[in-house]
Amino acid sequence: MSAKFGGATSGGSTFTSHKTFDIKDGTQRYRLLPSMKSLIASGTWAVFQREHFGYRATDRKDPTKTKIRTFLCIEKSNPKTKMVEVSCPECREIENKKQLRDDREKEIRDECKAKGILDSDKIEAIATKRLQDIDEWLKAHNLSKNWYVNVMTEDGEFGVLRMRHTAKQALDVRIEECRNRKMDPFAIGAGVFFEFKRSGKGRDTTYTVDVAMDMQEVNGQVAMMVKRGPLTEALGDKADAECPDLTSVGRKLSRDQIQLLVETNGDPAEVDAVFGLPDRVEKSPGANLGATQAAKPAPVAPAAAKPTPKPVEVVKFESAPGPEVTADDDEAALEAQMATLKAKMAAAKKPKAPAPAAPVLPQQQGRPRRPEPQRRRVPQGH
Ligand SMILES: [Zn+2]
């Protein structure tokens, strides 16, 4: 079984479905797994990913409902120059919305001033109401940054533990402490469970991590002892079958697909269509390298990161021997499909856009409009 975990090589199997655990309020215990699958060679046991939220697609299990479909951010910056080398359309969209919000807020304050409204609570209330739609959009379109680690639960379940960077930092401290005491928390036969605690809300959420301790009886004596999580042969097989290759966690979309998604304005049928497009980026495992390397653990300090990924727009897979023609054909087919989808989206939008009664800022077009009464509270001034 040692071949399933760090220290030996193994082909990265493709994996489609796995359990994801989140650290919730209270206490939970997980046994971290050593590096697995394609990450064995590098010994990497944790992968960092930035994931975009905010788009709802049809729920496959219940088509009468919608479900959030997330995708990985493709933005890449050069840590030295701070220049954006690969620009993510969704990140740009979020920036635009933030700018729009600032502009609108200023407008509202100017209007209030012009009308002699000086009570700051009143101004605040007006602003909150009129910024509600954009604030909701920004909240929904969260860019979530998390670490992913394969773990085992106390019940012998396997899956991926998703944790915030602050939780990972707390964990790293404990791992270091274990190692200083010559205890390897990952060891196949003698690894340990960690106890994760979450408390507080929002920005004040805090995480603490400790080595899990239990009352255990040894030679007739009861004592608090470290909770071990030995990985038997059978558990190793289960881990191999149920844990993903961490480099495949998260849906990868191409830049064009993300651009299309931004243009959907969130219509679930259109979101379905974009996610249903054949995915250039996912086709070859080799092609994912550029996307994952930067995100890989190379701990906190991005400056210390490994060879800076080239400023690539990713993905022309090199060297599949022979048929460049096929790659071009694929590309052409995909482009055709995207063009069709774009045309469909444009056609669908036309009848939907009756000239609005109230003036709408350019970037707002196509966004669900808030009920008019709010607007009337503070008539548009100049
Ligand atoms: Zn992004």
What tens digit of pLDDT does each residue of 173-185 get?
A: 999 999 999 999 9
Provide the strand spans (E) within 73-165. Answer: 76-77, 84-86, 143-152, 158-163
Using 50, 70 and 90 to split pLDDT, how confident is the model at 336?
A: confident
C-alpha 313 to ligand 1 mean position (Å)? 14
Q: Which residue has the tokens 């304050």?
A: 109
Nearest-CA neighbor of 191 among 220, 230, 159? Answer: 230
C-alpha 240 to ligand 1 mean position (Å)? 31
Enumerate residues with CB within 5 Å of ligand 1 (an ion): 73, 75, 88, 90-91
Which SS3 state, helix, strand or coil, does residue 203 take?
Answer: helix
Which SS3 state, helix, strand or coil, does residue 58 take?
Answer: strand
Using 50, 70 and 90 to split pLDDT, how confident is the model at 345?
A: confident
∠ CA 187-188-190, nearest 5°, is 60
C-alpha 77 to ligand 1 mean position (Å)? 11
C-alpha 154 to ligand 1 mean position (Å)? 36
What average pLDDT does range 42-47 have in this prediction? 96
Mean of all residue pLDDT scores within the chain: 80
C-alpha 93 to ligand 1 mean position (Å)? 9
Residue 246 burial (C-beta neighbours within 10 Å; 0-12, 13-18, 19+): buried
For residue 365, what pLDDT is reported?
44
Distance of alpha carbon 315 from alpha carbon 253, whole angstroms: 12
C-alpha 118 to ligand 1 mean position (Å)? 39
What tens digit of pLDDT does each residue of 157-171 get?
A: 999 999 999 999 999
159 and 18 in contact (C-beta within 8 Å)? yes
Within a 10 A sphere around the Cβ of 190, how many other Cβ atoms?
A: 14
What average pLDDT does range 36-63 have in this prediction? 94
C-alpha 144 to ligand 1 mean position (Å)? 10
Provide the strand spans (E) within the chain. Answer: 20-22, 26-32, 46-58, 66-72, 76-77, 84-86, 143-152, 158-163, 193-199, 206-211, 213-218, 221-226
Quick one: residue 319, left, alpha or beta (phi over 0 = left, psi -120 to 50 = alpha)?
Answer: left
Give the H/E segment covering residue 268.
Answer: helix 268-276
User: 357 or 255: which carries more pLDDT confidence?
Assistant: 255
For residue 342, what pLDDT is reported?
79
What tens digit of pLDDT does each residue of 98-138 get?
A: 999 999 999 999 999 999 999 999 999 999 999 999 999 99
Distance of alpha carbon 46 from alpha carbon 6, whole angstroms: 12
C-alpha 73 to ligand 1 mean position (Å)? 4
Q: In sequence order, what are the residues at sequence separation of 6 or more whose Cβ sits closer than 8 angstroms to the Cβ of residue 82?
A: none
C-alpha 61 to ligand 1 mean position (Å)? 28
What tens digit of pLDDT does each residue of 249-260 get?
A: 999 999 999 999
Distance of alpha carbon 356 from alpha carbon 373, whole angstroms: 14
Distance of alpha carbon 351 from alpha carbon 311, whole angstroms: 41
C-alpha 208 to ligand 1 mean position (Å)? 29
Q: In sequence order, what are the residues at sequence separation of 6 or more whose Cβ sits closer than 8 angstroms to the Cβ of residue 89?
A: 255, 258, 259, 261, 262
C-alpha 197 to ligand 1 mean position (Å)? 30
Using 50, 70 and 90 to split pLDDT, how confident is the model at 248?
A: very high
Q: Would you give the DSSP letter of residue 192?
A: B
C-alpha 262 to ligand 1 mean position (Å)? 11
Within a 10 A sphere around the Cβ of 199, how many other Cβ atoms?
A: 12
C-alpha 25 to ligand 1 mean position (Å)? 28
What tens digit of pLDDT does each residue of 20-39 get?
A: 999 999 999 999 999 999 99
C-alpha 139 to ligand 1 mean position (Å)? 15
C-alpha 360 to ligand 1 mean position (Å)? 26
